[in-house]
Amino acid sequence: MARFGQVITAMVTPFDAAGRLDLDGARRLARWLQDNGNDGLVIAGTTGEAPVLTDDERLSLFAAVIEAVTIPVIAGSGTNDTLHSIHMTKEATKLGAAGVLVVAPYYNRPPQSGIDAHIRAVAGATNLPVVVYDIPVRTGRKIATSTLLGLAREVPNVLALKDAAGNPGETANVIAQAPSSFEVYSGDDGLTLPLLSVGAVGVIGVATHWSAPEHQEMFRAWASGDVAGARAVNQALLESFSYETGDDSPNPIPSKVMMNHLGVPVGQCRLPMGPPADFVLERAKKVWANLEARRNKAA
């Protein structure tokens, strides 16, 4: 079993009708996710709208969710500022997080040497497992394979990668050359099955908000050697993957609409994401109806 489990949701951050952080809503959502097939949670990541949370809000969110559930909670403590990331990582450690998520510095566009030094400095501020988050579409920089391997080999608590780089072939090189204790999680729902084929251990997902049972089913099928079964589940999830983000409705807007539709109130996104267009709810209803029909057929 992977260190944090196989199916982990990058949880949305609930806000109330006035746009204030809803800690009771965060606790309810975290428990709902735990009860509906998730092995762990990432909080205050991309999907959690970390860039629009104050430090106090982020730390309050860490504390509330860690207290609310019994599954591992990975705290999104990384920013594009190394000293700030060190501070947030120390605070997350004090609050009892199971690990921290450290994203490659965004906007700054540092060289590989800067990315490497940033992650080493943050990892040195904690004894918790560090999950490196590589998402070049949002950061503007790909973490090079050589940088990832250096971190995996030389920094004892750099123990995992959330891979949203979109290149399973290169991820295969990372997995082949990294220590056996270094775990790779898919950070792109649509590439989870391809990444399983090269050695990924799980997913830190978005559609897992509402499809964790199907993801668990896909992982079980894959582990048992039922490749056709895993492929069939993946095909059933394609509609969810298409729904969860897009240029006309980027992540996390669709996930919040879906959770509200399912009766788990999470409010709307803060600007600059802002409220959803009307079509997003109609798509959510269709995606959920199709997934529910599949579940009923299998029951």
The span from the CA of 262 to the CA of 98, in Å, is 28
Instruction: Kindly report, residue by residue over 123-174, the tens digit of the pLDDT.
Output: 999 999 999 999 999 999 999 999 999 999 999 999 999 999 999 999 999 9
Q: What's residue 85's pLDDT? A: 98
How many C-beta atoms lie closer than 10 Å to residue 83's C-beta? 11
Mean pLDDT for 213-236 is 98
Asked whether the predicted pLDDT for residue 248 surpasses 90, the reply is yes
Band the pLDDT of 212: cuts 50, 70, 90.
Answer: very high
Give the dihedral of Cα atoms 247, 184, 226, 191; nearest 10 deg.
20
- Residue 249 pLDDT: 97
- Residue 180 is encoded by which pair of tokens? 């056996």
Separation of alpha carbons 218 and 257, rounded Å: 25
Q: How far apart are CA 293 and CA 299, in angstroms?
A: 10
User: Rounded to an integer, what distance in angstroms lies between the CA atom of residue 247 and that of residue 206?
Assistant: 16
The helices-and-strands tally (H runs, E runs) of the chain is 12, 8
CA distance 81 to 105: 7
Residue 61 has pLDDT above 90, yes or no: yes
Tell me the per-residue pLDDT of 5-18, one tens digit each, with 9 for 90 and over: 999 999 999 999 99
Q: Is the pLDDT of residue 109 over 90?
A: yes
Helix (H/G/I), strand (E/B), else coil: 232 = helix
Whether residue 1 is predicted with pLDDT greater than 90 in this model: the reply is no
Mean pLDDT of all residues in the chain? 97
Mean pLDDT calculated for residue range 235-253? 97
Mean pLDDT of 77-86: 98
Q: What value does the mean pLDDT take over residues 55-62? A: 98
Q: How confident is the model at residue 299 (pLDDT cuts 50, 70, 90)?
A: confident
DSSP per-residue letters across 68-100? H-SS-EEEE---S-HHHHHHHHHHHHHHT-SEE
Assign 290 a pLDDT band (cuts: 50, 70, 90). very high
Distances (CA, A) of 128 to 24, 73, 173: 26, 12, 26
Half-sphere exposure of residue 254: CA atoms within 13 angstroms, side-chain side:
27
Partners of residue 250 on adjacent β-strands: none
pTM of the model: 0.97
**CA 48, 49, 51, 54 torsion-angle sign:** negative
Q: For residues 185 and 161, give the distance between their C-alpha atoms in angstroms, rounded to a whole number.
A: 6
3-state secondary structure of 279: helix
Which positions are catalytic?
133, 162
